[in-house]
């Protein structure tokens, strides 16, 4: 007996991007009731650990060898030559890090304070809290607490001698370079000879993968091409993933742990090859869902058990479409259509952030307003923070040629340019997948499956189109069905009508996906329509404070020497559930939980209401 087509569930629709805007409309089992709850109230509620190609979950197991401490003031040390040296010297790697953060000119002023006394105030304001923290830590590390710093009301940083430093004999300090030599010796004994690549686990809190890579590049003075990783991870969460660095040294990376805020590096090794994009099997998630309603606990258990047994629709999740009230796929659509002016205007739009409006500085908002109302790129550029890399790049080009919209788009960092057009591919795939789900939860003649069923989704996978005999053979299930994202080098199903209908609305065609710009000429890839969340487990926790952290992060486990997942919390009236499961790469945990909860995962939905971390 054929299963009926799944029922559709009406979800809440609030200001900003909703699921229906990007083609997310269906469920595997709409008859199972959902439940209320909040995701990512704290960033420690969303733990993600990469799974390597061999199936091993990557955890932060160590932070490298301890950094040898320089001798205390007044101690006299002899170098190998036997010459006595007692004057303090700034370590070059620390100097490089601080210079990268504050600029060469301000660094020289800081060093002058150390040598001659007085104080100095930065010429620029440091609007982002993380960057301010990095500057303060780097100043202390570089001058070994001989200098101190504070943030002023306008977010500029004042640097001055630390208390008591003027009374200290500055010429009674062992050169820090000796400590560096000691560390290099320890590293060589532990890790062996230097090879082309350093592999390491990168632990990050509430930061985007690309921002971490950019920060490492600045500190280490590396080109972005020297830094690689297997996949990107969400910002709001605590994640552990594998990175590789070309022509790096472990002893220098160990020093970075003291300077980095919310980032820890460990599990170091020298290797002959790099970590490439896609070098992972998937991810393990430990997710805390808070603010549960006691009367819905049975619905919660039914929903999560149904997710474990029946799976979910493998949509591209809302993260794929950005945090603005204008979806990134709308920008991608303009780029693919060659309408670069509209793409630029959307990037510089005055639309509010959907996620956290205060996340953007007043100067950035004013820059957007100036562009919209006055079309003055030069004035807008002066106010746009460099951290808004896409907007800053676009405005930089437009100050030189006001109508050069194509080159303005091409000035955006490549990873962001490609993100826009991939978002449009994802939007089309979501729409097509929704239509396939509406046709029923059973195999149909004409469905496509991968010829090698052990393969994950990917480029140019050989596919097989099922016949009625294949369907009757019971050799395949709905979890084998794949559909392609639109592209010029991918096999489509025989019935292209849904692709044509969706893309015709945007004046595009699924069979005309080649473009003059290579990175906008999309090949396409096969993606499974349905997926299962294997090894799913959950635990309902009653606790006293609604903001209690319920699980340990990897860094906390390392520091407290515990193997336990759950923290001890006082029992109370607050109700949460901790859900643990694994997914293949490029699958979205929020889409799995959506199936269980039957709630919209848009940024403004009740499910995604984010509180400020205490």
Name which residue leads in pLDDT, 70 or 213: 213
Widest CA span of the chain, in angstroms? Answer: 90
Higher pLDDT, 188 or 451: 451
Instruction: Give the C-alpha separation, 558 to 85, whole Å.
Output: 38
- CATH number for the domain that contains residue 61: 3.30.70.3160
Q: Are 528 and 490 in contact (CB under 8 A)?
A: no
Whether 347 and 479 map to the same domain: the answer is no
Q: Is the pLDDT of residue 166 over 90?
A: no
521 and 445, same structural domain?
yes
Percent of the chain with pLDDT over 70: 86
Show which of 240, 271, 302 is a domain's final residue: 271
Whether residues 304 and 264 share a domain: the answer is no
Task: Determine, yes or no, domain membership for 4.
Answer: no
Tens-place pLDDT, residues 290-302: 999 999 999 999 9
Beta-ladder partners of 449: 464, 481
Provide the b/e sequence for 51-74 (b: ≥16 CB within 10 Å).
bbeeeeebbbeebbbebeebbeee
- pLDDT in the model for residue 173: 45
Q: How far apart are CA 300 and CA 33, in angstroms?
A: 8
Residue 506 inside a domain? The answer is no
The more confidently predicted of residues 311 and 9 is 311
Q: What is the pLDDT of residue 333?
A: 97
Residue 511 domain-assigned (yes or no): no
pLDDT digits (tens, 9 = 90+) for 290-341: 999 999 999 999 999 999 999 999 999 998 998 667 889 999 999 999 999 9
In the predicted structure, residue 171 carries a pLDDT above the cut 80: no
- pLDDT of amino acid 323: 66
pLDDT at position 9: 41
Residue pair 483/432 in contact by the 8 Å Cβ criterion: yes
Number of domains observed in the structure of the chain = 5
CA quadruple 177, 181, 183, 187: dihedral, nearest 10: 140
Q: Residues with catalytic annotation?
A: 234
What is the reported pLDDT for 382?
Answer: 94
Task: Give the pLDDT band of residue 172 (cuts 50, 70, 90).
Answer: very low
Q: What is the mean pLDDT of residues 213-233?
A: 90
* pLDDT range class, residue 354, cuts 50, 70, 90: very low
pLDDT at position 431 over 90: yes
pLDDT in tens, 512-521: 999 999 999 9
Task: Give pLDDT, residue 129.
Answer: 74
Average predicted confidence (pLDDT) for the chain: 86
Q: How confident is the model at residue 352 (pLDDT cuts 50, 70, 90)?
A: low
Bridge partners (DSSP) of residue 288 are 578
**Range with lowest mean pLDDT among 69-73, 195-199, 542-546:** 69-73
Neighbours of 135 (CB within 10 A): 22
Q: Which of 528, 551, 572 is the last residue of a domain?
A: 528
The phi, psi pair for 46, rounded to 5°, reads -130, 90
Q: Which domain holds residue 480?
A: 439-496+516-528
* HSE of 344, CA atoms in CB hemisphere, 13 A: 25
Q: What pLDDT score was predicted for residue 565?
A: 94
Q: Is residue 426 part of a domain?
A: no
- Stretch 389-408: mean pLDDT, rounded? 95
Span 468-485, mean pLDDT? 96
Q: What is the pLDDT of residue 360?
A: 64
Burial of 129 (0-12, 13-18, 19+ CB in 10 A): exposed
Beta bridge partners of 530: 313
Instruction: Classify 441 as helix, strand or coil.
Output: coil
Query: The domain spanning residue 549 has which CATH number?
Result: 3.30.1360
Length of the chain, please? 614
Task: Tell me if 159 sits within 8 A of 130, measured CB to CB.
Answer: no
Q: Which of 134, 167, 200 is the last residue of a domain?
A: 167
Note the pTM of the prediction, 2 decimals.
0.80
Give the Cα separation of 526 and 314 in Å (integer). Answer: 12
What tens digit of pLDDT does each residue of 555-601 get?
999 999 998 999 999 999 999 999 999 999 999 999 999 999 999 88
Looking at residue 66, its pLDDT comes to: 81
Q: Which string of DSSP letters, residue by residue, matches 57-122?
A: BP------SPPPPPPPTT--EE-TT--EE-S----HHHHHHHHHHH-HHHHHHHHHHHHH--EEE-
**Are 489 and 536 part of one and the same domain?**
no
Same domain, 302 and 353: no
CB 266 within 8 A of CB 189: no
The answer as to whether 429 is a domain residue is no
Q: Do 216 and 302 reside in the same domain of the chain?
A: no
Each residue's pLDDT tens digit, 32-91: 999 999 998 899 999 999 999 999 999 999 999 887 665 554 444 444 443 333 456 787
Write down the pLDDT at residue 79. 41
């Amino acid at each position: 007996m054929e299963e009926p087509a799944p029922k559709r569930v009406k979800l809440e629709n609030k200001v900003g991007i909703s699921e229906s805007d990007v083609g997310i409309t269906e469920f595997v089992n709409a008859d199972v009731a959902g439940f209320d709850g909040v995701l990512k109230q704290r960033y420690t509620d969303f733990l993600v650990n990469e799974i390597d190609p061999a199936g091993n979950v990557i955890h932060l197991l160590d932070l490298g060898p301890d950094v040898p401490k320089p001798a205390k003031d007044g101690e006299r040390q002899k170098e190998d030559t036997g010459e006595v040296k007692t004057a303090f010297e700034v370590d070059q790697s620390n100097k490089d890090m601080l210079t990268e953060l504050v600029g060469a000119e301000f660094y020289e002023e800081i060093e002058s304070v150390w040598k001659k006394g007085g104080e100095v105030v930065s010429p620029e304001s440091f609007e982002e809290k993380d960057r301010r923290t990095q500057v303060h830590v780097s100043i202390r590390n570089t001058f070994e607490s001989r200098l101190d710093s504070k943030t002023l009301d306008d977010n500029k940083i004042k640097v001055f001698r630390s208390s008591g430093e003027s009374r200290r004999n500055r010429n009674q300090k062992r050169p820090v370079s000796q400590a560096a030599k000691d560390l290099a010796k320890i590293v060589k004994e532990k890790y062996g000879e230097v090879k082309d690549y350093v592999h390491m686990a990168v632990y990050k809190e509430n930061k985007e993968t690309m921002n971490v890579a950019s920060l490492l590049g600045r500190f280490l003075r590396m080109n972005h091409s020297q830094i690689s990783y297997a996949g990107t991870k969400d910002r709001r969460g605590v994640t552990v993933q594998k990175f590789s660095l070309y022509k790096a040294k472990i002893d220098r990376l160990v020093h970075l742990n003291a300077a980095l805020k919310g980032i820890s590096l460990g599990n170091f090794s020298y290797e002959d090859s790099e970590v490439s994009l896609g070098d992972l099997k998937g991810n393990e998630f430990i997710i805390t869902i808070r603010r549960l309603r006691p009367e819905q606990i049975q619905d919660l258990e039914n929903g999560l058990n149904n997710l474990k047994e029946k799976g979910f629709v493998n949509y591209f999740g809302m993260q794929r479409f950005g945090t603005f009230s204008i979806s990134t796929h709308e920008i991608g659509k303009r780029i693919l259509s060659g309408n670069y002016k509209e793409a630029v205007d959307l990037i510089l739009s005055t639309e509010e952030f959907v996620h956290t409006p205060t996340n953007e500085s007043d100067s950035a908002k004013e820059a957007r307003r100036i562009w919209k109302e006055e079309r003055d790129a030069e004035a807008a550029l002066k106010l746009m923070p460099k951290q808004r890399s896409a907007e800053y790049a676009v405005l930089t080009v437009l100050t030189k040629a006001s109508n050069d919209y194509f080159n303005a788009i091409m000035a955006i960092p490549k990873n962001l340019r490609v993100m826009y057009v991939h978002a449009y591919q994802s939007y089309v795939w979501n729409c097509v997948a929704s239509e396939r789900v509406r046709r029923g939860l059973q195999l149909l003649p004409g469905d496509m499956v991968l010829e090698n069923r052990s393969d994950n989704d990917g480029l140019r996978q050989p596919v097989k189109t099922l016949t009625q005999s294949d369907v009757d053979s019971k050799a395949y299930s709905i979890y084998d069905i794949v559909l392609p994202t639109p592209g010029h080098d991918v096999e489509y199903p025989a019935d292209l009508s849904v692709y044509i209908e969706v893309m015709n609305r945007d004046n595009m065609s699924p069979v005309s996906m080649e473009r003059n710009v290579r990175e906008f000429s999309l090949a396409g890839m096969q993606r499974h329509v349905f997926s299962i969340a294997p090894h799913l487990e959950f635990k309902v926790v009653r606790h006293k404070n609604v903001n209690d952290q319920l699980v340990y992060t990897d860094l906390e486990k390392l520091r407290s020497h515990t193997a336990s997942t759950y923290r001890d919390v006082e029992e109370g009236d607050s109700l949460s559930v901790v859900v643990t499961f694994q997914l293949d790469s490029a699958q979205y945990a929020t889409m799995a939980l959506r199936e269980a909860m039957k709630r919209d995962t848009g940024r403004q939905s009740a499910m995604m209401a984010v509180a400020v971390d205490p």
